[in-house]
Amino acid sequence: MTGYVLNNRAARRVFLHRHLLSDTPQGDATGDALLDVITQLGFVQLDSINTVARAHDLILFSRKARYRPKALKTLYETDRSLFEHWTHDAAVIPMEFYRHWSMRRERDAEKLRKQYKNWRREGYEALFQTVLDQIKAEGPLSSSDVGKDEKKGSGGWWDWHPSKTALEYLWRSGALAVTGREGFQKRYDLTERVVAPDLCDPANAPTEAETIDWCCNTALDRLGFASHTEIAAFWAHVTVAEARKWCETALARGQIMRCLVEGVNGDLKPQFARPNLPEDPALEISPTKRLRVLSPFDPALRDRKRAERLFGFNYRIEVFVPEPKRTYGYYVFPILEGDRLVGRVDMKAFRDRDVLHVKALWPENGVRWTTARANAFEAELQRLTKLAGVSQVSFENEWLRLGGP
């Protein structure tokens, strides 16, 4: 079905369904139910910014409104159903996927040696055994617990002391695992004390070919349709060349097909998809009209170009943009309604004042901020107060209630 065309409305339905944004965000949000959400998404990115809630918490809340951060902490630190490592960034990932990070750990070991050398991190390699011995004797430690006699820098990623660098290297390459976080500081322990023996046994590790196949298959299933570049970027394990080769092989075997996906402006983009895409159940599912606020790091928005192509939503995070040069604000949240991104909001939880304060609201071009939409937005803000740890909502000015300046 080389000539199959997925129109834009259908493409958005498939895309939102794959990202668990079609259904009303309700139901149990603890234990196995929460783990199932993370497994279907593949992973949840971690981020420290907490203007309303941390990114990982808002990502899960957007799909399960009864979600509270304690449930994720339990899954991760008590049940050991999740592990922390890297995809495109730091993330929590279902423990059942751990074996497929073997290739990533090996590649990171080589990459980081070169990277740290370029950053002039002299001395960290000589501290590997010292750090491992200290953790073996004392149990899980954070970067502040090691290298206490070393000169400390600013604490930023660019100024780690040698023992901190050793910790990160040993984690990324597999000797250590992160057992959880206090605040947002990682705690490290020996991998064999965190991960089940059968999962961390090198003898059970898949081959590179098996991992590449797993990465590409699971990425495409979670994206619905994608180019080989987008497939490679999903887990950020495989190279673009490896993903291209996988697509060629899968195409020859009939495991995938070529199709054309219509963007919001009518352009058709060549993509790969499963042969049963024309019968995909998501095509018949109309996304819920319930308005919800998304994290800037939501999986549906991580690929900014893809989001713009499908929804016409041009978005960037302006945290590192000097304030006079910002188009919107420091940390602006996209607003989803049905199959449209209808606006963005700049807001912050002031917990000392017990209020979620809306500083600015921008409806997207062509979106009328009707009374019904304003009411739906306020209802979502009230739901968000429970996650943000406040009880009230305030607006910079009354016009914002109606989507005004």
* CATH number of the domain to which 152 belongs: 1.10.10
Mean of all residue pLDDT scores within the chain = 93
Which structural domain, as residue segments, surrounds residue 189? 97-193
Q: What is the mean pLDDT of residues 376-381?
A: 96
Residue 73: which residues within 8 A CB-CB, separation 6 or more?
180
Residue 369 has pLDDT above 80, yes or no: yes
Interstrand relation of 355-363 and 392-395 (parallel, antiparallel or unpaired): parallel
- Domain annotation covers residue 205: no
Q: How much is the pLDDT for 149?
A: 80
Residue type, 45: Q
Q: How much is the pLDDT for 120?
A: 57
Residue 65: which residues within 8 A CB-CB, separation 6 or more?
25, 26, 29, 383
Q: What is the mean pLDDT of residues 134-150?
A: 92
Residue 377 has pLDDT above 90, yes or no: yes
Closest CA to 187 of 128, 142, 152: 142
Q: How many helices (H) and strands (E) does the chain have?
A: 13, 14
Domain total for the chain? 2
Q: How confident is the model at residue 38 (pLDDT cuts 50, 70, 90)?
A: very high
Euclidean distance between CA atoms 381 and 399, whole angstroms: 16
Q: How much is the pLDDT for 1?
A: 46
Q: How confident is the model at residue 18 (pLDDT cuts 50, 70, 90)?
A: very high
- Domain annotation covers residue 243: no
Residue 276 has pLDDT above 60, yes or no: yes
- Domain annotation covers residue 125: yes
Q: How much is the pLDDT for 343?
A: 95
Burial of 105 (0-12, 13-18, 19+ CB in 10 A): middle
- Domain annotation covers residue 279: no
Domain boundary residue among 164, 193, 222? Answer: 193
**Category of 225 on φ-ψ map: left (φ > 0), alpha (ψ -120 to 50) or beta:** beta
Residue 152 has pLDDT above 80, yes or no: no
- Domain annotation covers residue 215: no
- Domain annotation covers residue 236: no
Alpha-carbon torsion 301, 33, 232, 253, what sign? negative
Domain boundary residue among 155, 173, 193? Answer: 193
| Number of neighbours of residue 155 by Cβ within 10 angstroms | 12
Closest CA to 58 of 324, 307, 383: 383
Q: What is the mean pLDDT of residues 137-148?
A: 92
- Domain annotation covers residue 250: no
DSSP-derived 3-state class of residue 187 = strand
Domain boundary residue among 161, 193, 225? Answer: 193
- Give the pTM: 0.94
- Domain annotation covers residue 19: no
Q: Domain of 346: which CATH number?
A: 3.40.630
Residue 60 has pLDDT above 90, yes or no: yes
Q: What is the mean pLDDT of residues 89-114?
A: 94
Q: What is the mean pLDDT of residues 58-78?
A: 97
Euclidean distance between CA atoms 298 and 41, whole angstroms: 10
Q: How much is the pLDDT for 113?
A: 86
Q: What is the mean pLDDT of residues 310-336?
A: 92
